[in-house]
Amino acid sequence: MNCSEGKIWKNLKNLALFVCILLSILFSFFSPNLDGFLLSGAILFTAVFGLPHGALDFKLLQSLWLKKQLPYAFTCYTGLFIFTVFLWSLSATAMLAVFLLMSSYHFGGDYPVTIPQRFLTGFILLGLPCLFHPNQVGDIFNILLGHGDGYRFVNSLQLAGLIGVFYLSFLLLFNKIKIRQSLELVSLGYFAYVTHPLIYFVTYFCLFHSLKHYSEISILLDHAKLTKLFIWSLPATITTLILALGFLYFFIQIEKKSLEISVLQITFIGLSALTVPHMFLVERVRNKYKL
């Protein structure tokens, strides 16, 4: 990556941090509740800014594997997606536990730290809303699970998040972690405090996680600009959204579930099913190219 490209991505990351701080100030004056408008806005924001970063996986597969190996790679990727959905239907409780562990490792990879620190950083990112809004997060988990065990996960994330906060504070005290990383985590911490957990997650996922992923894979895809990455992601993004609308119709018309429950289940379970193969691919890319 040349200096000009590096500066562009750095400026975009600085803009994301600025937007997070600005939203934190805004939400300090009023706290939104989970309603139809908020839910629709969060889903739209995720579809436009978050979902495309995973939709580039097929472009990555094409660039990383030989043409004759692509059918095998696509089959494995799609198989992981289907298998994840099957596991959710088989045992939502076990799948949520596994998904939270995988997510902590994956999200912690946004910061160049060791594996233990990576897990702890990920648990901080997942645990922040549990520390400040445990009832709201517990309600979301209960909807995903279909029963009242969601609060057990909230308690576990609270403990893991607190351990992570103390450990990273120790690292910062002894200059073992970059100031920029700490500034992002502190900003996200305050943002998690002043807003709804759903808004917090969508903001982190779209502004921080997705943008860092774009900057990484841009290197592998001939230093493609952000606009080109968006264009490449459109086919897979549109296909995913069409499938999501089909599932939404099924849940509402056939399963007779409410709109709110249907949207939450499709969004989180669907994202997890997409994220599992995405995680494996990203880790292989990071290990291969030392990103």
In-domain check, residue 1: no
3-state secondary structure of 28: coil
Q: Nearest-CA neighbor of 12 among 180, 215, 195, 189?
A: 215
Cα(158)–Cα(85) distance, integer angstroms: 27
What per-residue string of b and e applies to 59-90 under the rule 16 or more CB within 10 Å gives b? Answer: bbbeebeeeeeeeebeeebeebbeebbebbee
pLDDT for 226:
73
pLDDT for 157:
92
Cα(52)–Cα(140) distance, integer angstroms: 24
Per-residue pLDDT tens over the stretch 164-184: 888 878 877 777 777 778 888
pLDDT for 43:
72
Average pLDDT of the segment spanning 240-262: 74
Which residue stretches of the chain are H helix? 3-27, 36-45, 51-55, 57-64, 70-90, 92-108, 115-132, 134-145, 150-173, 179-194, 197-203, 210-220, 226-249, 259-289
Average pLDDT of the segment spanning 107-123: 81
In-domain check, residue 17: no
CA 6, 206, 233, 220 torsion: positive or negative? positive
pLDDT for 193:
92
In-domain check, residue 10: no
pLDDT for 271:
77
Measure CA of the first residue to CA of the last residue in the chain; give whole Å.
Answer: 12
- Residue 4 pLDDT greater than 80, yes or no: no
In-domain check, residue 27: no
Domain count, the chain: 1
In-domain check, residue 7: no
pLDDT for 2:
53
Going by pLDDT thresholds of 50, 70 and 90, the confidence category of residue 132 is very high
Give Cβ neighbours of residue 274 (< 8 Å, ≥ 6 apart).
54, 81, 240
Q: What domain range is 230 assigned to? A: 38-286
**Mean pLDDT over the full length of the chain:** 80
In-domain check, residue 123: yes
Quick one: tokens of 43?
């889903």
pLDDT for 150:
84
Going by pLDDT thresholds of 50, 70 and 90, the confidence category of residue 245 is confident
Going by pLDDT thresholds of 50, 70 and 90, the confidence category of residue 154 is very high
Average pLDDT of the segment spanning 273-284: 82
- Residue 130 pLDDT greater than 90, yes or no: yes
Per-residue pLDDT tens over the stretch 39-89: 666 777 777 777 767 777 877 787 777 677 788 888 888 888 888 888 888
Average pLDDT of the segment spanning 189-197: 90
In-domain check, residue 254: yes
In-domain check, residue 147: yes
Q: What is the pTM of this model?
A: 0.83
Measured in degrees and rounded to the nearest 5, phi and psi for residue 35 equal -130, -175
Are the C-beta atoms of residues 53 and 224 closer than 8 Å to each other? no
